[in-house]
Chain A
Amino acid sequence: MSAAEPGLTVALVGNPNTGKSTLFNALTGLRQRVGNYPGVTVARKSGQCDCGDGTKVELIDLPGLYSLSAASPDEQVVIDALSGHLADDRRPDAVVVVIDATNLLRNLFLASQLSELNLPVVLVLNQADVAAEQGLKINTELLSRRLGGIPVVLTSAWKGEGISAVRRAIGEALRARVRMPAVEWPPLVEEALADVAAGVAADIGRAPGRADVERLLFDSTTSVGQRLGWAAPRRDVVIRAARDKVRRAGYNPLAAEPLIHYERLRKLLEGVVQGGGNRTGGSAAVDQVLLHRVLGPVVFAGIMLGMFAAVFWLAKFPMQWISGGVDALKLGVAPLLDGMPMLQSLVTDGMIGGVGAFLAFLPQILILFLFVSILEDSGYMARAAFIMDRLFSWCGLNGKSFVPLLSGFACAIPGILSTRTIEDPKARLATAFAVPFMSCSARFPVYALMCAAFIGPLYGPGWESVVMVGMHCVGLLFAVPTAFVLTRFVLKVKPQPFVLELPRYQMPKPRDVLWRMWQNAAEFVSRAGTVIFAITIIVWALSYFPRDPAVEQRIRATAVGVAPAVVDAQVQSAYVEQSWMGRFGKSVQPIFDPCGFDWKITVGVLASFPAREVIVSTLGVTYSVGEGAEADSKHLQQVMRDAKWTEGPRVGTPIFSLAAILALMVFFALCSQCGPTVATLAQETGGWKWAAISFVYMTALAWLMAVAVYQGVSRLA
């Protein structure tokens, strides 16, 4: 992985939808390492590949792309990796270009661009089975000859055909080091390229690579100049002059590259492919239904409903097993540590609870990625984006934002993870930022408690439903303008063109689907999991310490003739009140006073920053009902209805007035009270910056809206 490590590396490149990942999985046999490229949220996948003769090479699966003109971070990574400009990677020793055998011309454009990198190339014509079905006959020998004798292999990675031939071809490429012939540019274009190269060399003192020069000349925006340290005023003068030369050759400088490459490829492919009829026929027939004006949205809604139901309901069963297992483990371990109350609490509530806290997300992540992988691999995800794009484009998101936002209604964690399907980095970030606003299932117990304790008894079950539905819309109401402002005014990332290929439908390969589910779950556990564990321990410590035994003794001494359970509840309540968390809650209560929260609610709010559903059991503790209270606890509901202000201007009036409970619900609808979500945002946005912004923004917004609701409603009422 590091530059110091010896051994050969081979890069795998190709257009999206060519079966590149399936080939990668087949070549590496799932002996893979997954990480991130430094500074960008692009996954780096590598694995060991046997060249058939015992030689092992490191195979790197680079992101799929159509062209080397770097428009997105994904594309930039490919260019940097292939030219050896990535911090941790050497320049690869050879490149395997994966090509869709049913559309050689378009796929070869990338290969033709890659010929400028002067690396040994293996050309893999994948999906040969589909090409054969379509009646295409490809003369691979002729193609190889025209490409300077590079190995050309026909494969069908889905069926596992031709894999060993690819292995041998990689070995051959590394031995013989045959390169593809470079493009013959028209003389004036060649001159223009030489001028740019000379300009760079004169200014930075060393000759640039050929591929870098082409990016500088042909791309309207490129970060190559920045990387080379070639500064603006001089650079612009040289490039403008060179582009004038290209214009004199009869080409628009920004269109010259595809025009010349495609012209070359058309000649190169003459006589290589024979036959072939309607290549989009089968999928077009399916699209007649799936993209139909009426049927299309109906089928789409059905699929999405199924997916949501699975993430929301189906995941509950394994989640219950996990929490059951965690509880059983706590009960099993607790007696071993009897007599050491601090250690007992640390191990059971802190450590085991911390592991349970992130394990509980795994079922939802696995189920969502089962769906996402199937939708993507089958080709339906692009159609879903096509159907939904209109609803999202106006606020800077795109059709692919739908799946992450929908799954956010079950849980934000898998929702944020699934923003990886969005190619446009701007829309991806804005979607990830909007997902935590969706009313996730952890907010449900909070609404349920408030509705069951107050709205239902006071206004009837009708209003209970209205409030429930209303609360689920609050987040959406704020998420959409947030995304709009973010993409329009805040994010300075260059927007990506929403040009989406609607690929041929294909049966997903179970191994690829399972592997992707596993990879996402493993990455979540190893990255976000550790953060979640740490947060749980910290919050445990804050609400455990300091623990003065005198507090307990005083209560037990005065409580004569009171039921033991009541005494225990009072002891817990007293301990929490004088813990750091309780003291902190009391001291910051004035901040939450305008929202109508007393110190007990404030402690609940603070304690539920790692996980919002904790508010219910925390209120149970602070209101002396005892540990483990749930939303349907009649006792807790009664205690809350009876709670009155004991001091201040509102003394004697109920704490949980209509204004206060609405303010509390709005606060929970908007506040960033989920440690795992913040950790996942950091994981997926490549650093803590956006996670911190999201946390501060959501929390400040929640406070403002809670104040507005409390002040507004109490003045009206």
Chain B
Amino acid sequence: MTPLSQLLPGQYGKLTSLNPERSVDQRLMALGLLPGMVLKLVRKAPLGDPLAIEFAGQVVSLRLTEAQTIIIDVAADCPIQRPRPQA
């Protein structure tokens, strides 16, 4: 159980929990970031904040402070989850 803010660039993880009370998390859920979804920390901005994460075929940026309460289950080599099951 690791906060998203502590992921290293290039590292994958599976979303364990976020905080639905918060507007940032509500927006992320609307974008499809739901528990069980695999995401990747793509990079940090040159000044270390904000972060860019990739999930469900999109890259989204969010601030470090807000990433601290988004909890991730880090899996070493987990490929990014396909949003659609293969036919």
Does A262 sit at the interface, judged by CB under 8 A?
yes
B52, B56, B83, B87: the one within 8 Å of A502 (CB): B52
Q: How far is the CA of A520 from the CA of B56 in the complex (A)?
A: 35
Assess whether B59 is in contact with A501, with CB atoms less than 8 Å apart: yes
Q: Do A66 and B50 touch across chains, with their CB atoms under 8 A apart?
A: no
- In the bound complex, residues from chain A placing their C-beta under 8 Å from that of B54 are 280
Cα–Cα, bound, A287→B54 (Å)? 13
Instruction: Map CB proximity to B onto A661-689 as digits: 1 under 8 Å, 0 otherwise.
Output: 00000000000000000000000000000
The answer to the question of A441 belonging to the interface, with a C-beta cut-off of 8 Å to chain B, is no
The answer to whether A109 and B24 touch (CB under 8 A), given A273-B84, A500-B60, A502-B60, is no
Residue of A220, A252, A386 touching B50 (CB-CB under 8 A): A386
Do residues B20 and A252 form an inter-chain contact, with CB atoms below 8 A? Answer: yes
- Distance in angstroms from A695 CB to nearest chain B CB is 33
Q: CB distance A499 to B57 under 8 Å?
A: no
Segment at the B interface, from A85-93, A330-338, A388-396, A454-462: A388-396
Interface window among A229-237, A291-299, A609-617 = A291-299
Q: Across the interface, do A499 and B24 meet the contact criterion of CB distance under 8 Å?
A: yes
Query: Which of A20-28, A99-107, A114-122, A597-605 contacts its partner?
Result: A99-107
Residue interface mask B25-67, A partner, CB < 8 A = 1: 0111111101000000011011111101010111111110010
Number of interface residues of B (CB under 8 A): 37
Query: Which residues in B have their C-beta under 8 angstroms from that of A254?
Result: 20-21, 26
Interface of B is mostly: loop
Contacts of B21 in A (CB 8 A): 220, 254
Interface residues of A, CB < 8 Å — how many?
Answer: 52
Nearest A residue to B65, CB-CB:
A393
Establish whether residues B31 and A499, one from each chain, have CB atoms under 8 Å apart when the complex forms: yes
- Contact A109/B66 with A103-B57, A266-B85, A287-B43 known, Cβ cut-off 8 Å: no
Closest residue on chain A to residue B23 by CB atoms:
A497
Q: Closest CB-CB distance, B11 to chain A, in whole Å?
A: 15
B57 touches A279 (CB 8 A): yes
Bound complex: CA of A255 vs CA of B20, how far in Å? 6
A147 to chain B, nearest CB (A): 16
> Contacts A382-B61, A498-B50; is A258 near B34 (CB within 8 Å)?
yes
Indicate which residue in B29, B43, B52 contacts A258 across the interface (CB closer than 8 Å). B29
CB-CB nearest in chain B for A15: B31
List chain B residues, Cβ under 8 A from A553.
none
Question: Given B58, B63, B83, B85, which contacts A498 in the complex, CB threshold below 8 Å?
Answer: B63
Which residue of B32, B42, B59 contacts A105 across the interface (Cβ within 8 Å)?
A: B32
Can you list 5 contacts pairing A with B, beta carbon distance less than 8 Å?
A67-B27, A106-B56, A259-B29, A262-B34, A497-B66
Interface residues of B (CB under 8 A from A): 20-24, 26-32, 34, 42-43, 45-50, 52, 54, 56-63, 66, 83-87
- Of all A-B residue pairs in the complex, the 8 with the closest CB atoms, nearest first, are A67-B30, A497-B24, A254-B20, A390-B47, A258-B29, A255-B20, A502-B59, A500-B61
